[in-house]
Amino acid sequence: MRRQAFSILALLLGIYFIVALSRDLLDLLSKRERIIQEEAEVAKLEQEQRDLAEKLQYVSGDEFVEKEAREKLLMGKPGEVVMLLPPDNDQTGQAGPTSDKDQNSAKEDLANWEKWAQVFGFFR
């Protein structure tokens, strides 16, 4: 009887250790997956940091400053002449008549002086 109780106790302890170790193993595997995900996130953020550093270097350079001054501030180099052209309807994205029929009907609705003002670019 004593031998039987010892065998049952040993069996129960063995089952307990197997369950405890399997839980630890599963926990370890899930943490390993999380480490892999976090390493991928770190690599992504490092790449983003490199891209931002390159962009900062470009924006800090003379080439970018000159480009922005020409395009947005309408400045030029000494001796250059800056010319401003009226924007095209297609490039500005202004909504207007799309078909020839619509354009003709829109022109017919205008007074003669308005048509001449459009030709000379006073308004569109």
pLDDT, tens digit, for every residue of 69-118?
A: 888 887 888 888 877 778 776 654 554 445 555 555 665 677 878 888 88
Task: Kindly state the tokens that stand for 24.
Answer: 């630890």
Q: Which of 95, 91, 73, 94 is nearest to 82 (CA)?
A: 73
Q: In angstroms, rounded to a whole number, what is the distance separating the alpha carbons of residues 43 and 118?
A: 57
Alpha carbon 26 to chain centroid, angstroms: 38
User: From start to end of 5-116, where are the E strands?
Assistant: none
End-to-end CA distance of the chain: 108
Give me the residue spans of the domains in the chain.
Answer: 1-80
**C-alpha 7 chain-centroid distance:** 66
Task: Report the predicted TM-score, pTM, of the whole model to 2 decimal places.
Answer: 0.44
Structure tokens at 80: 């250059």
Angle between helices 2-60 and 62-71 (to 10 degrees): 60
pLDDT one-digit tens code per residue, 41-72: 999 999 999 999 999 999 999 899 888 888 88
DSSP annotation of 122 reads S
Q: Looking at residue 1, what is its pLDDT?
A: 82
